[in-house]
Structure 1
Amino acid sequence: MTTAMTTTPPVLAVENLTTSFKTTEGWKAVIRDINLHVDAGETVAIVGESGSGKSVTALSTMRLLPAGRSRIEGRILLDGTDVLKMSDKQMRSVRGGSIGMIFQEPMTSLNPVFTIGNQIAEALVLHRGLSWGQAEAEALRLMERVRIPAAKTRLHEYPHKFSGGMRQRVMIAMALACRPKLLIADEPTTALDVTIQAEILHLLRELQREENMGILFITHDMGVVAEIADRTVVMFRGDMVETGSTHEIFANPRAVYTKSLLASIPRLGTMGAANAPRRFPEVDPATGEATDGIQMNPVPQTVEPILRVDNLAVRFDLPNGRVHAVEDVSFDLRPGETLALVGESGCGKSTTGRAIIRLLTPAAGSIVIDGQDITKAGNRELREMRRSSQMIFQDPFASLNPRITVGSAIAEPILAHGLMGRKEAKLRVSQLLEQVGLSAAMADRHPHEFSGGQRQRISIARALALEPKFIVADEAVSALDVSVKAQVSNLLLDLQQQHGLAYLFISHDMAVVERMSHRVAVMFLGEIVEIGPRAAIFENPQHPYTRRLISAVPIPDPTRRGQMAPPLSEEIKSPVRAFDYVPPKRAYREVSPMHFVQETL
């Protein structure tokens, strides 16, 4: 007599999934015939560009798409039960119960009018039947488990008082509150700094081991995929083009799109001792093969700086103290040069950029642009200054007026400064759009009609409208997909070469910084702790924080998994000080020519 073997069904099995949306022309399929499964204790990554269908696959699994305007076909089996046949009431118990979900932007998922503790406790009351008192005690335990410092006091704070990394930890606590069998993580680390990203990845792995939880991890960051995924599904324009073990996908990609995706990845440590930026790999769309980009021009050190910042300080008063957001920051920037400003959220890099453009008022120090100290400038002088200095923001959609066409948005500064009449400005807009790789005919469209990468090109065109001498690029490519990031970065490098533009390139993406910059300044708690030529910073980092930052970058090679730095044992100190606090004067030592490191106290 033989005994039949029983196999444990996967936590999630997606079979022949096709999701369509209703349009004026009828139903349009946005993902087609998707098949995947996730076992207990396994991590499966879905990768691809924006518009590939990654998030629609996740939202279909959770049945979170709008009723009446979406249609889901196929089968989605959770522990063998088809969720597409469940009632709405059953699905409400599944969401947050058997399936937890972490969204890309936690601030849009957290209710701003309720405290953090209230929002975590609510899920526990609904799904686990706890009393409110029990739920609050469990919420505190969960916050401590995801390593939120001073959890007991922060339990009663509101979301806006938490940093991006802390809000993401709150979302993880909420997603794990009911001990789900499956966790769907939709781009949970895309907008996070590398050290915080490393913390989140360590945390997810640890919690997965404890609960034997399956994870469906959606991302476009191939470094993260290499670090955590057991298997990988590659999607392109709604189709699943390749699937297999992560090691096999990286070592032997078969689909042309997978090859081009891997070829587009900027890899840390590939620049060596080069003293100038290098264009990102150019990928042949037919074969997916890449040729390394050409090296750009070095910057002559004899050229007079276009920007000189000395002892800059920016501070904000709070009821209980003063935030020393930027303290005693000094650097210069030459025509045709890129100085990268790197560091974690809250380190002061964006505040520095905004102060230089005078979107913020400095508390101390000088900012000299073309020989004029703009900290002492009046409205008229500031208006003139903004002709020579412009800013590109991280979120182009938020910086473009949704009610006017992109042509009007680009023409606006030209007309405001009285540089041209409307007819000449319209011609100039056409030239600028073509210069950034778009069509002149696109001038009549509105921002919502463009992709994220196209909107960033429009923002660059607008920044170029007044023919500036330097541009502050604040996380200008951080939220873009791998291939789009390469295209926009190459565009910035080409424009620099053509026009001699200087960039203050603010970023947390160290691999992009390595390719884009001539020099790098590392910020920590409002201060520059190390500054020097690109090769010196990456090849010979001296400050402990710089080393930490570089070691936290995930390596896009699954054979080197686990080489990221271990999680920090303590949180970054608060920049809030007493009103009578006097910042210490820092000392720097020169490690090598132009390479300076702050002396540790």
Structure 2
Amino acid sequence: MTSPILSVQNLHTSFRTDDGWTEVLRDISFDISARETLAVVGESGSGKSVTALSVMGLHPRQSVRHSGRIEFLGRNLLELPEDRMRAIRGNEIAMIFQEPMTSLNPVLPIGAQLVEAIRLHRDISRDDARREAVQLLEKVRIPAAASRLSDYPHNYSGGMRQRVMIAMALACQPRLLIADEPTTALDVTIQAQIIDLIKTLQDEEGMGVMFITHDMGVVAEVADRTLVMLRGDVVECDRTTRVFRQPGSNYTRSLLAAVPRLGSMAGRPRPAYFPTIDPETGQAGPDAQTAPPPAAPRPVLEVQNLSTRFDVRKGMLGRLVGRVHAVENVSFSLNAGETLSIVGESGCGKSTTGRSILGLAAPTRGRILLDGAELTGTSRAEMKRQRQNLQMIFQDPFASLNPRIRIGESIAEPMIVNGIAGRAEARDRVAALLAEVGLSPDMMNRFPHEFSGGQRQRICIARALSVQPKVIVADEAVSALDVSVKAQVVNLMLRLQERLGLAYLFISHDMAVVERVSHRVAVMFLGEIVEIGPRAAIFANPQHPYTRRLLAAVPIPDPERRGSKRRLPELEIRSPLRPPGHIPPPRSYRECAPGHLVMEPSEDWALLGAA
């Protein structure tokens, strides 16, 4: 039996605080062999990333201390001086971080950053390093690699930036790759491509991989063994198939119960709460039920032929050189008490559609009606008044809250500004809203940094509810949350919809979550709705090739079905930038079932492999 590449034995990690040393990792042990993938899973705060940073030696030595052993190819990394660790880090052990935009230097071209990483560890010329950088970009499937070396990080999409990070990590052919949530914020099709890419390169290079994630569907796709962590402890560590088939702890069972599974809603006509399991007792909670039907259909929001375009200007005189057709001729209606989900990849126009409805982006043409009142072309004062009925929940709750303002003030401010309540009454309403979203009223005096991600998202929901809206636009509101927290927030939104009759425009790329929460689904591609209809019809009988592609890319949370998925072909969707005088071709739709419309074949279908 071959020796493992990495062997972590009885690792303890402590952080220095004002009260002394606080232990955050306790007795962590695991091995990783060549060509083996170990998934480290758990919720935020479980110690996954602290474990990875301990292996990499990236903790500041004056404020963090370790005990135990971290053996890499027979060397105890905890005993090596910093200069020896620097030679290993990025060379023999490489790491891919969760957010590539914060890991890449925004003022340096991609090529310069790759060349720097190569020359830092290898004695080769700049020209040779540049040639190798091109080969690395080609290896991670970036088209026209040589011509893209001079591009800056902002010129790449999120998926492409993550590929650049993988290329940089592979620059010195490491023996161990640590991937810290590398696919969490990516679209489902890009996520599938990144997973396939890491697996292919692992086979080619013979690497061991430590894959950190909270997505159990991704774990089922990539991991040979799985280590489950909770609050700094190892809950269990076993073969991935066994962890999924016979979880050894209540906590693991609770994680698996919260995993959204595509197809779990077959035969259920309405949205359903996520089943929840108490991680301490293993008992199922009360939420595994179907939401009641909405009231009699009554359109509360109508969007008619909406188009939003952005001018692109160049030169000293700001000459118009083109327009980005972000949203093109989009129409739909949303009933009271209904959830309409808009799905698609980054750049398809779904977020711009939501922002256009709220007046955060100026529509080029079209009509938006809220309870029959025209929103397009209205005065600022009228739009401010109407916005009471139309609220938005953003993806990143921390960026949505002012870090210097206590959360009670953040929730009360919309009520005071809109004249709904005075300061004294607003405080009482804030307490009631916090209780409504499952938080304690005495938390209103805390600042945003004192809450977890899921709690901050609940605060944002409370703030949106403070003005008693009729429609809430939820823009990727649960995409970055841990799996169990995601289930809790979705269940909260369904309960509020049931009690208050709220209408949700649910913008997401997570098809499994969309299947559970939606009444109807609209699929966007290149700024247009290519398919729209009842949720059951879209998922059971997808007609457009892009819809089928999205569904095919969803990870299957079952390791025994790992080889059953069809590998997605590479797809480079063309840019939405058009010449200034471009006139979009007319589109027509056919109704393949009651309320189920699909765009008739067009030139764009060829991009998706349509016949």
Q: Please confirm whether the aligned pair reaches a TM-score higher than 0.5, indicating the same fold.
A: yes
Whether 1:373 and 2:374 are equivalent positions in the alignment is yes
Higher alpha-carbon deviation: 466-475 or 255-264: 255-264
In structure 1, the residue matched to 2:253 is 259
One-letter amino acid of the counterpart of residue 416, structure 1: V
Q: C-alpha deviations, 1:529-550, integer Å up to 9, x for none?
A: 1000000000111101101101
Runs of 4+ in 1 over 4 A off after TM superposition: none
Contact kept, 8 Å, 1:324 with 1:577, in 2: the verdict is: yes
In structure 2, the residue matched to 1:50 is 44
One-letter amino acid of the counterpart of residue 292, structure 2: N
Instruction: Give the Cα–Cα distance (whole angstroms) in 1 for the partners of residues 415 and 330 of structure 2.
Output: 33
Quote the offset at 1:403 in angstroms: 0.3
In structure 2, the residue matched to 1:503 is 504
Instruction: Give the Cα–Cα distance (whole angstroms) in 2 for the partners of residues 106 and 207 of structure 1.
Output: 19
**Aligned pairs for 1:18-97 within 5 A:** 18-97=12-91
Quote the offset at 1:69 in angstroms: 1.4
Contact kept, 8 Å, 1:258 with 1:288, in 2: the verdict is: no
Contact kept, 8 Å, 1:475 with 1:505, in 2: the verdict is: yes
Contact kept, 8 Å, 1:263 with 1:288, in 2: the verdict is: no
Q: 2:289 aligns with which of 278, 291, 294?
A: 294
One-letter amino acid of the counterpart of residue 591, structure 2: E
Instruction: Give the Cα–Cα distance (whole angstroms) in 2 for the partners of residues 135 and 314 of structure 1.
Output: 43
**Aligned pairs for 1:15-414 within 5 A:** 15-290=9-284, 293-299=288-294, 303-319=297-313, 320-414=321-415
Higher alpha-carbon deviation: 56-65 or 318-327: 318-327
One-letter amino acid of the counterpart of residue 56, structure 1: V
Q: Secondary structure at the match of 2:430?
A: helix
Quote the offset at 1:289 in angstroms: 4.3
Contact kept, 8 Å, 1:14 with 1:76, in 2: the verdict is: yes
Q: C-alpha deviations, 1:236-259, integer Å up to 9, x for none?
A: 110001001001111111111111
One-letter amino acid of the counterpart of residue 227, structure 2: V
Gaps of 5+ in 2: 314-320, 603-611
Instruction: Give the Cα–Cα distance (whole angstroms) in 2 for the partners of residues 492 and 227 of structure 1.
Output: 29
Quote the offset at 1:318 in angstroms: 1.9
In structure 1, the residue matched to 2:605 is none
Contact kept, 8 Å, 1:264 with 1:290, in 2: the verdict is: no
Contact kept, 8 Å, 1:310 with 1:329, in 2: the verdict is: yes
Quote the offset at 1:322 in angstroms: 1.7
One-letter amino acid of the counterpart of residue 85, structure 2: M
In structure 2, the residue matched to 1:446 is 447
Q: Secondary structure at the match of 1:375?
A: coil
Instruction: Give the Cα–Cα distance (whole angstroms) in 2 for the partners of residues 322 and 129 of structure 1.
Output: 46
Instruction: Give the Cα–Cα distance (whole angstroms) in 2 for the partners of residues 209 and 259 of structure 1.
Output: 31
Q: Secondary structure at the match of 2:496?
A: helix
Gaps of 5+ in 1: 1-6
One-letter amino acid of the counterpart of residue 589, structure 2: Y
Q: Secondary structure at the match of 1:537?
A: helix
Instruction: Give the Cα–Cα distance (whole angstroms) in 2 for the partners of residues 40 and 58 of structure 1.
Output: 18
Q: C-alpha deviations, 1:360-416, integer Å up to 9, x for none?
A: 001111111111221111101110111000000000000100001000100111111
Instruction: Give the Cα–Cα distance (whole angstroms) in 2 for the partners of residues 576 and 317 of structure 1.
Output: 9
Q: Secondary structure at the match of 1:29?
A: strand
Q: Secondary structure at the match of 1:282?
A: coil
Identity of matched residues, % = 62
Instruction: Give the Cα–Cα distance (whole angstroms) in 2 for the partners of residues 60 and 36 of structure 1.
Output: 13
Whether 1:543 and 2:541 are equivalent positions in the alignment is no
One-letter amino acid of the counterpart of residue 327, structure 1: E
Q: Secondary structure at the match of 1:290?
A: coil
Quote the offset at 1:140 in angstroms: 1.2
Contact kept, 8 Å, 2:338 with 2:502, in 1: the verdict is: yes
Q: Secondary structure at the match of 2:299?
A: coil
Q: Secondary structure at the match of 1:483?
A: helix
Whether 1:13 and 2:14 are equivalent positions in the alignment is no
One-letter amino acid of the counterpart of residue 580, structure 2: F
Instruction: Give the Cα–Cα distance (whole angstroms) in 2 for the partners of residues 60 and 390 of structure 1.
Output: 42
Q: Secondary structure at the match of 2:66?
A: strand
Contact kept, 8 Å, 1:553 with 1:564, in 2: the verdict is: no
One-letter amino acid of the counterpart of residue 494, structure 2: L
Instruction: Give the Cα–Cα distance (whole angstroms) in 1 for the partners of residues 235 and 76 of structure 2.
Output: 25
Q: Secondary structure at the match of 1:438?
A: coil
